Amino acid sequence: MSVANNDSGAAQDRMLGSVPGVQALGRGPAPDGKFSRHDDHHPAAGWGAARSVGRVLEERGTPVEGVRALFVMNHEDGGFDCPGCAWPDDPSGLQLDICENGVKHVTWELTRKQIDRNFFAVHTVSELAGWTDYDLEAAGRLSEPLRYDPAIDRYVPVSWEDAFELAGRVLRGLGSPHEAAFYTSGRLSNEATFLYQLWVREFGTNNLPDCSNMCHEASGRALTAAIGSGKGTVDLRDWERADAIWLLGDNAASNAPRMLTWLAEADRRGAELVHINPLIEAASRRTIVPHEFADMATFRATKTGTRNVQVRIGGDMALLRGVAKTVFETAARPVQHHDLLQRRPLPRPDGPAHRDAHEPRRHARPRP
């Protein structure tokens, strides 16, 4: 094996994060300062989030377009869904139902930065493989079609006609349309996704894995086998009526900041909010919701948690089993539907229900 191949293999191992004690490539951003830890007693969101939003709009260079986008994000009539988290839209038509993370996503979409052939003339693909995700995104958007040239390890520009011809030649050369897979990202618009899947099915296959399919296929199949549904079975109407809400391993302030509005609402009506996490996260204490202007003006915070349960890492299953055991043993009346359990037993790994849930997906037949 050549030295170049050895170097390539080592880079690939680092890209996968499989070298102990060595930072993975392609992740980011890499902090260059010393590790620090301190207690944070500020409420989640509030003026800190508002200042951060202003800073993001200024740094991205899109103050006018960015501010306009804030007033139509997550609006059912004439707006668009935030490309950040998947928290559902407020059913009452709440205005300014946004968060700091969503503003970052939108301003990335509005960026004017572009990279062209001169950028790739300077940087090889092997070099770019070592850049962090943040640095790659910050470089800008592609402005022309490119193809990879392995002889020089660079992307080189091609005309649109050559790009279409290359894609068509490869697809026509396949033995079957099922030999191709057509991946899409959640950042693709609904309109573009519709046209894309229509073309792929006209081509003769339904091999259309998308980001949600790739991320949730395993959990979806397991949930379908266990409870009959491959995803969550509750919505905001259930949240509005819940007397107790449990959050496991989730820091709403980082992962779904718009949830803070609903945590504050649940606390005001007396719901119990139990956070189960090895760390006491910011969203498990209190918040100032930025679109509640009276609270912002008076710095009035609302509780977002009534109890923190700090389990050991990996101890959530033991906790839930213990809670279930206690409920079964102390309930004033039976809580298990024994007749239903006898008629619909949970699937076993060697049983037909389990095998059915894992049957391979059937392909669409190509059109004649």
**pLDDT value at position 364?**
39
**Closest by CA position to 109, among listed 29, 212, 189:** 189
pLDDT in tens, 181-236: 998 876 777 788 899 999 999 999 999 887 667 777 788 888 888 888 877 788 88
Position 285 pLDDT exceeds 80: yes
Note the pTM of the prediction, 2 decimals.
Answer: 0.70
Q: Which fold has domain 245-343?
A: Dimethylsulfoxide Reductase; domain 2 (3.40.228)
Q: Among residues of the chain, what percentage have pLDDT more than 90?
A: 32
Return all residues near 288 (Cβ < 8 A) that are at least 6 apart: 43, 44, 45, 46, 47, 295, 296, 299, 300, 301, 302
Give the start-to-end residue ranges of the domains of the chain. Answer: 245-343
Higher-pLDDT residue of 82 and 119 is 119
**Residue of higher predicted confidence among 306 and 234:** 306
Q: Where would I find the beta strands (DSSP E) of the chain?
A: 44-45, 114-115, 141-142, 146-149, 154-157, 244-248, 272-276, 286-288, 302-303, 307-309
pLDDT digit string (tens) for 42-97?
888 889 888 988 888 888 777 888 888 888 888 777 778 787 777 887 777 777 78
Mean pLDDT of 323-329: 88
CB 296 within 8 A of CB 47: yes
Spatial contact of 311 and 276, defined as CB atoms under 8 Å apart: yes
Q: Please report which confidence band the pLDDT of residue 330 belongs to, taking 50, 70 and 90 as the band edges.
A: confident
